[in-house]
Structure 1
């Protein structure tokens, strides 16, 4: 009788399985993987071997080793095929879908996710996670309507099975989706909801893993809204948690987000701040290359390209060559993985750069390509014909997952007795099936921004009056932002926020000032005699908020306000390549980017029928 067949050998193998689980929850992923691999050599039961392979795949995924995750997912598939077990196939296809989504091979991720749905599963939650993987892959492809539809299906499974962990991941995904679409209010709602659900999770390693991801996305939204101080706090906490949990993917994204934040904070000392931000970008990019995170590479290169473009535009002695090079490298990878949104951003930046060079032919090519991508992604409202996803907009979707401006859609539905969707001609019904249950956004103070040090609170069973129940219909009702006025007087609402610095709890009021004037301030003098920036004047009818930062002063004096405003675009000029005051690109950062990116259409890469 061999070791695998002996009862003592089986007991020892199962003991190793359990030891691996304990090590995994203690964040010793590599030691846990060693235990599980030792157990595999002894386990005789096919079911136990299948479960152990799943453990190993999950641990490699949490460690951002996606190639190894794919390898053990394929081993799961081999075992499921050998046993001809459809229940095993459903789980194996799901793990393959997750692995390919993280490797940015979105077409295979969608195919494997759909294959998982075609097989019966013992766990009723499996279809929900398959829909989630499909939704994330569609979002990677920038097919936002299809992504939203899959998120909706995943949320239905989460509600039916009361799976809060699945609901949390859906909320994070929807937060990322609406960040791309620039509906930042809804993005904050979903991220608040995710933080509230997170309080139910008591396992430390799981709590840290998901909290770091939530805070990273939160830092991106807060930066876009102009709350740079809160964005920095959230990002620094996410950076710490991701380092503790060993998630290289989240850690490198946090480095990139932190570089973006410091780049915007350090306008007065651009040279020093750019150098520090550049070092963070380089470190983040190297980690992305190491773990083969191609979507992460696109994110980092896009931020680097934007930083180079802004620095060239606003500081004397810069050259367009580096900004163009970075945009082309970012575009190269975005084309391979099929991320149209990133491609569009690259072409728009290139259009601006070519405009500064007076290269009309290249500018026109970039403009037409960006316009074509916008049309392919359907980033426009059929009612007003205007684009969305550029500035902050409030969006609304129908049950068919087509998205429009909320105001336009509500006017259309109120005017028609039997309205139909202008895109697919089906009956126009507002999407209501994505239930968020008890959302953190349903608190009395809708303007409260979650911070890393929010105390743990139990999740209520039912939402309080006015709570968020759906991602579109009810989420908008929960918002209590002031309506823009046609008056020229400033409307100010104070937002109370609590955050902690070095163990000290601080409460601050951050006013949001809406100023409306029939004329735009075009003065180049943006500072007062005290060194503070002048408030930005917004044309009449604009609903663009200006986020102000209250600077603490003496108790007897009134607080001063610094308003975040954008610089005016620079005049066209020729490049000046003789002066290179911008940090140079290291050779190892960009050499061979195109050569190292595998083609997703490679026939030698495993497909559904290749397993």
Structure 2
């Protein structure tokens, strides 16, 4: 189903009572009318030559002999022409129940995992990824085992189970050690490195994340893989923004955007949206709000075309952030609530965390401290769930400001203690002065020993990284 998109409008996808999908339109002039929605539905144009997504999923499926793959593909493609999405999934599950061997089951699980991943339904994705991994856990087919472990790692990452995601990604990387990097193994390796990098950013293990992302960046350069280079830049931007280096946090999305402009005409839509939202976040931080809004609208159009609820939710969150930065809290709050609902439905814990913090900040400006405190406490709980220390530090800083205004000394002392504890648990120190990094805005440098340095410390002249005792002159910068 193709959904019409209008400029300067905000849409949310929801399932109709008949089982199909419709789009609910929020105009900018009606920011609070979440219940009163104009519904626009357009049927697919049905043009000849449109790529059937079932074909592409099956072509990516591995492990079946060609005759079996064609047979299964023909069967499922024939069904897909006459069924909506719910009926299509039911037909796959029916085929799965009647599957006679593990190869067929593996392929069907892979189709289901990718289907739900593409649409942002991460709870469902994780369920089928776990079943796929359990199926191949003891398999001698290394490609099946790699595929199953990486699917489960990505699902855990999307759900915010960062430690488990890192564990599964490391398991995949261990299988790829000392293996020649043909086209298939290269794809497995960069996927594992990016998943491990994202998972370690999520649980604030920034030095480990930096090592994985540096390896992904070097591989992408070696194989002239511009898509992987751009996506790695987006993850490096997340890392530096969490460490409060806004200079590098802004630099990397702009580098990704330049790669998209030069090479990205035929890149997949999800990668394009990831880059657009990374650029929008950086532009919002740089107060280029009109440009950030335009990026979000472009990403939303693509997300609705592909029915990608995960990207829709993150785009709505970015809209809300822009409205909040414009001090238009009446426009921001319903968007934060809409994004929060979608993140909860999708199982996206990090998205949920950012929406909770955004809502709390809006409510502070509206002088509703009781409700703001409620959302901050929810955000603290989500930080513990995801093991993210960087966001916890920012929350404690806000709570200290609130309690200082209320002159509640005992609460100030408690949140100050929690903030210091979170800084220690992050274990990020400058390799020159050994002071903690992450509690204030600063400019950073990183060397390939995977340790960070204050730019001022590096410019002052250092010879040894005091975190690992390596000679600085034997190291190279990561950029």
TM-score between the two structures when normalised by the length of structure 1: 0.60
Please report how far the alpha carbon of residue 276 of structure 1 lies from its aligned counterpart in structure 2 after TM superposition: 1.9
- Counterpart pick for 1:151 among 213, 237, 255: 213
CA distance in 1, matches of 2:86, 2:475: 44
Residue of structure 2 equivalent to 1:113: 169
- Whether contact under 8 Å (1:259, 1:278) holds in the other structure is yes
Residues 264 and 82 of structure 1, relative CA distance in 2, 3 Å threshold: closer
Residue of structure 1 equivalent to 2:295: 234
Please report how far the alpha carbon of residue 281 of structure 1 lies from its aligned counterpart in structure 2 after TM superposition: 0.9
Matches within 5 A, 1:304-383: 304-309=359-364, 311-312=365-366, 318-381=367-430, 383=432
- Counterpart pick for 1:256 among 317, 322, 326: 317
Residue of structure 1 equivalent to 2:122: 66
Matches within 5 A, 1:127-166: 127-166=189-228
1:408 matched to 2:457: yes
- Whether contact under 8 Å (1:89, 1:119) holds in the other structure is no
CA distance in 2, matches of 1:175, 1:92: 28
Residues 202 and 16 of structure 1, relative CA distance in 2, 3 Å threshold: farther
1:280 matched to 2:335: yes
CA distance in 1, matches of 2:199, 2:140: 28
Please report how far the alpha carbon of residue 194 of structure 1 lies from its aligned counterpart in structure 2 after TM superposition: 2.3
Residues 38 and 168 of structure 1, relative CA distance in 2, 3 Å threshold: farther
Matches within 5 A, 1:348-497: 348-381=397-430, 383=432, 388-389=437-438, 393-413=442-462, 419-429=463-473, 432=476, 471-472=478-479
Q: Deviations over 1:533-569 (max 9, x none)?
A: xxxxxxxxxxxxxxxxxxxxxxxxxxxxxxxxxxxxx
Please report how far the alpha carbon of residue 380 of structure 1 lies from its aligned counterpart in structure 2 after TM superposition: 4.9
Residues 160 and 42 of structure 1, relative CA distance in 2, 3 Å threshold: farther
Please report how far the alpha carbon of residue 65 of structure 1 lies from its aligned counterpart in structure 2 after TM superposition: 1.1
- More deviation in 190-199 or 252-261? 190-199
- Whether contact under 8 Å (1:14, 1:39) holds in the other structure is no
Residues 376 and 47 of structure 1, relative CA distance in 2, 3 Å threshold: same
Please report how far the alpha carbon of residue 362 of structure 1 lies from its aligned counterpart in structure 2 after TM superposition: 0.9
Please report how far the alpha carbon of residue 95 of structure 1 lies from its aligned counterpart in structure 2 after TM superposition: 0.9
Residue of structure 2 equivalent to 1:297: 352
Three-state SS of the structure 2 residue aligned to 1:118 is helix
CA distance in 1, matches of 2:225, 2:170: 21
Q: Deviations over 1:184-236 (max 9, x none)?
A: 33233322332343353455xx6332222222222221122222222222223
Residues 300 and 209 of structure 1, relative CA distance in 2, 3 Å threshold: same
Residues 9 and 389 of structure 1, relative CA distance in 2, 3 Å threshold: closer
- Whether contact under 8 Å (2:242, 2:391) holds in the other structure is no
1:90 matched to 2:184: no
CA distance in 2, matches of 1:358, 1:21: 63
- Whether contact under 8 Å (1:10, 1:42) holds in the other structure is no
Please report how far the alpha carbon of residue 140 of structure 1 lies from its aligned counterpart in structure 2 after TM superposition: 0.6
Three-state SS of the structure 2 residue aligned to 1:412 is coil
Q: Deviations over 1:52-82 (max 9, x none)?
A: 4323212211211112212222232233246
CA distance in 1, matches of 2:432, 2:69: 66
Residue of structure 1 equivalent to 2:20: none
Q: Deviations over 1:458-496 (max 9, x none)?
A: xxxxxxxxxxxx743xxxxxxxxxxxxxxxxxxxxxxxx
Please report how far the alpha carbon of residue 319 of structure 1 lies from its aligned counterpart in structure 2 after TM superposition: 4.3
Residues 45 and 127 of structure 1, relative CA distance in 2, 3 Å threshold: same
Please report how far the alpha carbon of residue 106 of structure 1 lies from its aligned counterpart in structure 2 after TM superposition: 1.0
- Whether contact under 8 Å (2:446, 2:478) holds in the other structure is no
TM-score between the two structures when normalised by the length of structure 2: 0.76
CA distance in 2, matches of 1:429, 1:42: 62
Residue of structure 2 equivalent to 1:246: 307
Three-state SS of the structure 2 residue aligned to 1:404 is strand
RMSD (CA atoms): 3.1
User: Unaligned stretches of 5+ in structure 2?
Assistant: 1-65
Q: Deviations over 1:135-167 (max 9, x none)?
A: 111101011111111111222333344433333
- Whether contact under 8 Å (2:237, 2:249) holds in the other structure is yes
Please report how far the alpha carbon of residue 261 of structure 1 lies from its aligned counterpart in structure 2 after TM superposition: 1.2
Residues 386 and 79 of structure 1, relative CA distance in 2, 3 Å threshold: closer
Residues 330 and 131 of structure 1, relative CA distance in 2, 3 Å threshold: same
Please report how far the alpha carbon of residue 356 of structure 1 lies from its aligned counterpart in structure 2 after TM superposition: 0.8
CA distance in 1, matches of 2:361, 2:474: 37
The structure that is helix-richer by fraction is 2
